[in-house]
Amino acid sequence: MKMLMNVPETVVADALRGMAAAHPELVVDVDNRVVVRRDAPVAGKVALVSGGGSGHEPLHGGYVGPGMLDAACPGEVFTSPVPDQMVRAAAAVDSGEGVLFVVKNYTGDVLNFQMAAELAEDEGVQVASVLVNDDVAVTDSLHTAGRRGTGATLFVEKIAGAAAEEGAPLDRVAALARRVVESSRSFGVALSACATPAKGGPMFDLPAGELELGVGIHGEPGRERRPMMTAREIADYAVDAVLADLNPRQPVLALVNGMGGTPLLELYGFGAEVHRVLGERGVPVARTLLGNYVTSLDMAGCSVTLCQADAELLRLWDAPVQTAALRWGR
């Protein structure tokens, strides 16, 4: 498969060099693999740090900036960053008000962020953590004990980031982040396999004419494979899977997310079907975000994330944000 890269061994470093060139508002440490907002640490503000394997862009580096993350730690492709990166990031952004680690529920991320929290606290940094585990497709997977962390990560980083920007204390920011996790559920669908730079070809076998319902963002198996379905049928299946677990009693934030290889023409059509299903199920939609936000390299497919949002969560969602991949209100 053709890929726009030099060699697999430098693909992450090369991408970080490109990010630094495109976004001078960020401090990108290519050697140590840390992305930091240039004005950090911000006096009187709780700092948010997240990270994970590369290949899910714009997650997480694309969400560093006012209103979201203060720092992000990119690992190798589909590989957790190491504790040293996280400790370095926490030290760079801590203003003395504490640091919140936002952690997707994958075994490597969980273990490394736990170790980093202990090391950072040994250095005098107060750390709280929130675990994102929103994927309803499966209970356990190849890389996870419990539910996987997927699209709700964006909701957590945006809403908790807005609260931190307003000056909320660490315990309040962490409580809001956990409330977003509890209020959010996701479901993903793959139409094709993703190709990793190291392998140079498909990461898993998905025969022509079939799709994977409930796929993970690293290509982990989902609930079942079926012959190709229409956008209408996929939306019915995905939204019903989310609603069966979430049962929202309030309007929802809806993320209609591309997995990296789905054209916007298709994604907008799928988004229309998601809105149709929610309308038929009597679920009002407060806000919709549509595009490639939590990806899986070049996988063709989509995911749906819903977060039931009360007035406070909706206000924080609407609050100004200025990052490489998400910006409004400034």
Q: How many helices (H) and strands (E) does the chain have?
A: 8, 14
Q: Describe the chain by its helix, strand, coil percentages, rounded to 5.
A: 35, 25, 40
50 in the Ramachandran plot: left (φ > 0), alpha (ψ -120 to 50) or beta? beta
- The active-site residue out of 23, 56, 60, 143 is 56
Amino acid letter, residue 306: L
- The active-site residue out of 23, 60, 143, 218 is 218
Amino acid letter, residue 267: L
In degrees rounded to 5, what are phi and psi of residue 299?
Answer: -60, 130
Q: 140 to each of 56, 203, 222, 296, 311, how far by Cα in Å?
A: 20, 20, 10, 19, 33
Which helix or strand (DSSP H or E) is residue 37 part of? strand 34-37
Assess whether 60 carries a catalytic annotation. Answer: no
DSSP state of 69: B
Question: CA–CA separation, 109 vs 80, rounded Å?
Answer: 5
Residues with active-site annotation: 56, 218
